Structure 1
Amino acid sequence: MTGRDGGADIGPIGNSPVVILVRPQMAENIGTTARAMANGGLFHLRLVAPRDGWPLERAWRAASGADRILDAATVHETVDDAVADLHHVFATCPRPRHIVKTVLTARGGAAELRQMSSRGLRTGLMFGPERAGLDNEDMARADALIRYPLNPAFMSLNLAQAVMIMAYEWWMAEDATPPRTLMTNETHVATKGELDNFMRNLVGQLDECGFLRNEQKRPGMVRNLRHFFTRGEVTEQELRTLHGVVTELARGRKARATDGNSKG
């Protein structure tokens, strides 16, 4: 069940951590795990003693195009066999059971995995079976444990969700996306010159209609208007729209004045 057509292009493989599912119980969970892995740039999947055997058609149906991960997945009889070629292995564990080991958050674990991978070391992330999680023998094969700091009153995750958290943190550990951006589409953020040009137009029309007739208050009112337009990142398209608004208001005022004079 390999080399199937129609799978999505999930990007370059690289030296990302191996995701090791220990005794997974449902094909759908394996498929959704592959989907979560692809989202976060994790591409290597190993299965230890899957309950229903392997391969399983239902896994591919649940993977939403992450076929390449499932196609390349390997099956192992034991955890020892699955981790034999790795240098470091972290195990996810919701409830450490009287074990003396380093415990990391997902973010801390991802940062360490990135550092290890950058040195050419092969790493792995172990996840336990859906119903009970990893047992003490499984965790004895890990160098450190990863525990998610979630709501202590409700920490129930399905397998794919648990993998998605680590995949996200792995991706974000080297992601350069700014935390805040302005979507401008086909326009651009207005320059100071473009803003000054609009302010001259606006203030000129406000002077002409008498809105700024109070000479003492005029400088403060103009500053307030400028503050309003510089508080956010006004775009060039928005300024063009506002230019049009001001122009039409002035045209309407002049038309009314001309009509009034003709009637008079």
Structure 2
Amino acid sequence: MAGTDHVRRMIKEGPAIVLVEPQLGENIGMVARAMANFGLAELRLVNPRDGWPSEKARAAASKADHVIDGVAVFDTLPEAIADMNYVIATTARERDGFKPVRGPVEAGRILRDRFASGQKTAILFGRERFGLYNEEVGLADEIVTFPVNPAFASLNIAQAVLLMSYEWMKSGLESETATPFSGPQMKPAPKAALQGLFDHLEQALSARGYFRPPAKKPKMVDNLRAVLTRPAFAEAEIKVLRGIVASLDYFSPKEPRGAAYPDRKAKADAKAHSAQEPDGE
């Protein structure tokens, strides 16, 4: 699977995910996959409609077998959360009652803090069709709801679990903007390399009559320099551009690269070599 690395340590910690009366094995499997993506591993099912175990769930989990193998099944919700210290219920609908309502970012941080203090925590998710009953929400300590389109607020169960699993993982990063890998560190090229690109491009364009009429050449050169200085090219990028310009400048269909060594290329190389030699040699 793309993005899967069996050499690295598998993260398996955090709050339990509790699904109340899930209907389809495929949905359970997609929930397991979402959990595994973000380091969660404890999945509890309350009275799953089609029973358990489920081969459809395992297939939909896409190799998140450690989650599927660890599933615990309960007859009732009170039994499923009996050993928990803190429980948060997800809902898209406004509920009556006096429970605090959190957004997913804040809920993720609260879960992280309680996990760090050694508490057992859980997140409740309701049925695919209509979520949790009020009395089931009443068993939770707090409510979490998502900032979704108010006219189209229904999430499928795997989406809802994915959102909360992501917030859980993000809450444990040193920086919430951190990424698992980064691009190469490339410092801007020295001005001499950039000037070499300008000179090369200007010579190549002059040889092909680009600067017309001649009176407009200074302004056209200024425009080219403005375009090429904006990105702050790294030296490696300038080498790529010089290679492109060289192919367009020195070679042609009649004299393709590898077939000959054009006179203009030989003169340019000789000039570059002489410019690199120390004075007095």
Would you call these one fold, judging by a TM-score over 0.5? yes
What CA distance in whole angstroms lies between the structure 2 residues aligned with 1:129 and 1:240? 58
CA contact (8 A) 1:189 1:233 kept: no
Match of 2:198 in 1: 202
Q: 1:226 to 1:89 in 2, by over 3 A?
A: farther
Show CA shifts across 1:22-57 (max 9, x none): 111221111111011111221110111222222122
CA shift digits 1:184-214 (9 cap, x unpaired) = 6xxx635332x53232452477489597x98
Question: Structure 1 CA distance, aligned partners of 2:110 and 2:22?
Answer: 26
1:238 partnered with 2:237: yes
What's the secondary structure of 2:63's corresponding residue? coil
Q: CA–CA distance in 2 between the matches of 1:74 and 1:207?
A: 73
Say how many residue pairs are matched.
Answer: 243
Distance change in 2, residues 1:231/1:44 (3 Å): farther
SS of the residue corresponding to residue 99 of structure 2 reads: coil
Structure-2-length-normalised TM-score: 0.72
One-letter amino acid of the counterpart of residue 123, structure 2: L
Structure 2 equivalent of residue 58 of structure 1? 56
Which digits, 9 at most, give the CA deviation of each residue in 1:46-87, with x for residues without a partner? Answer: 111222222122211111111110101111222222112222
Q: Which amino acid aligns with 1:240?
A: K
**3-state SS of paired residue (1:47):** strand
Q: Which residue number corresponds to residue 103 of structure 1?
A: 101
The answer to whether the 8 A contact 1:8-1:65 is kept is no
Cα 1:234–1:192 change in 2 (3 A) is closer
CA distance in 2, matches of 1:90, 1:114: 13
Larger mean CA deviation between 17-26 and 196-205 belongs to: 196-205
Query: 1:130 Cα shift?
Result: 1.3
What is residue 3 of structure 1 aligned with on the other side? none
TM-aligned CA deviation for residue 115 of structure 1: 2.0
**Contact 2:125/2:132 (<8 A) preserved:** yes
How has the CA–CA distance of structure 1 residues 75 and 248 changed in structure 2, closer, same or farther, with 3 Å as cutoff? closer
Q: Superposition pairs for residues 110-189 of structure 1, below 5 Å?
A: 110-173=108-171, 174=173, 176-178=177-179, 183=183, 189=186
Preserved CA contact (<8 Å) 1:31 1:70: yes
Question: What residue ranges of structure 1 are gaps of 5+ in the alignment?
Answer: 1-6, 257-264
Q: What pairs with 1:214-253 in structure 2 (closer than 5 Å)?
A: 227-232=226-231, 234-247=233-246
Q: Any stretches of 5+ residues in structure 2 without a counterpart?
A: 252-261, 265-281
- Aligned counterpart for 1:45 among listed residues 34, 43, 46: 43
User: Please, which of 188, 191, 196 is the counterpart of residue 188 of structure 2?
Assistant: 191
Given that residues 198 and 243 in structure 1 are in contact (C-alpha distance below 8 angstroms), is that contact kept between their aligned partners in structure 2?
A: no
Q: Could you say if the C-alpha distance between residues 223 and 105 of structure 1 is closer, same or farther in structure 2, counting changes exceeding 3 Å?
A: farther
Summarize deviations over 1:101-159 as a string: whole Å, max 9, x none: 11111222112212222222221100011122111121111111011111111112211
Greater relative contact order (Cα < 8 A, sep 6+):
1
CA distance in structure 1 between the aligned counterparts of 2:237 and 2:73, rounded to whole angstroms: 58
2-side partners of 1:192 and 1:50: how far apart? Answer: 61
